[in-house]
Amino acid sequence: MSDLSWWSLLSVTATFLLAGLVKGVTGMGLPTVAMGLLGAIMSPVAAAALLIVPSFVTNVWQLLSGPSFAALIRRLWPMMAGIVVGTVAGSSILAHGQIRWTTVALGAALIAYAGFTLLSRQLSVPARLEPWLSPAIGLATGLVTGGTGVFVIPAVPYLQALGLRKDDLIQALGLSFTVSTMALAIGLGSRGALQLDGLALSALAIAPALLGMWLGQALRHRVSPVTFRRWFLICLLLLGIELALRPFL
């Protein structure tokens, strides 16, 4: 990471400012936006390494701000365990895979998330299936996280389908993203893909991410979150298509 140019440093700062703004308005999206934009200027594994610290800080903030931490842990621990196992196992793809195919996988993950969210209706998970689905969804989410650095598929649609109250859903998303971030750090670190200078630059990204979140929270009262989220997903879809096609152009 030490060979990053000033232009690259400016791009990283702008990326986390924008990613934080999206998270401030919509309550989510920082890792997804950051991975998508950083994946356009560096390898996915380098982008994932930069994501670790600001993602951890902002998601812990979101996790601890909710009212039901203990209850959510008791309910969702099988999913969280699956995320850890899948992410640590899948991180070998991100750490040692060819840049061409990890870029395609990153683009495909962005397309899947944006397309599903834009087109689908609200799903519902019957209570009797939750004990079986939670670990499976966690494992699938972990494999996608380990292979692409994107935390949201299929965790976000699944959590939204559990019928949680709004505050509990936001806290559950914070829990899922926090566990994903820590598991990704463990997976990449165990494979030598996290370097000290990269973590230092990742720590510096906290400031623009938090500033973006503050601006987003202020903007939330001035714009329609639904309209903002729709255009955010459209842009994410286009970015995913570009990344998925780039190695073949």
What confidence tens digit (pLDDT) does each residue in 22-37 have?
A: 888 877 778 888 888 8
Evaluate whether residue 78 is within a structural domain.
Answer: yes
Evaluate whether residue 224 is within a structural domain.
Answer: yes
What confidence tens digit (pLDDT) does each residue in 189-212 have?
A: 988 877 766 677 788 889 999 999
Residue 62 has a pLDDT of: 77
Cα 27 to Cα 41: distance, rounded to the nearest angstrom: 25
Q: Average pLDDT for residues 220-246, to the nearest whole number? A: 84
User: Which residue type, as a one-letter code, is found at position 192?
Assistant: G
Evaluate whether residue 1 is within a structural domain.
Answer: no
Rg (CA), the chain: 17
What confidence tens digit (pLDDT) does each residue in 119-167 have?
A: 877 778 888 999 999 999 999 999 999 988 888 889 988 998 998 887 7
Evaluate whether residue 16 is within a structural domain.
Answer: yes
Domain count along the chain: 1
**What domain range includes position 191?**
6-248
Evaluate whether residue 55 is within a structural domain.
Answer: yes
Range scoring the smallest mean pLDDT among 43-47, 65-69, 92-96, 183-187: 65-69
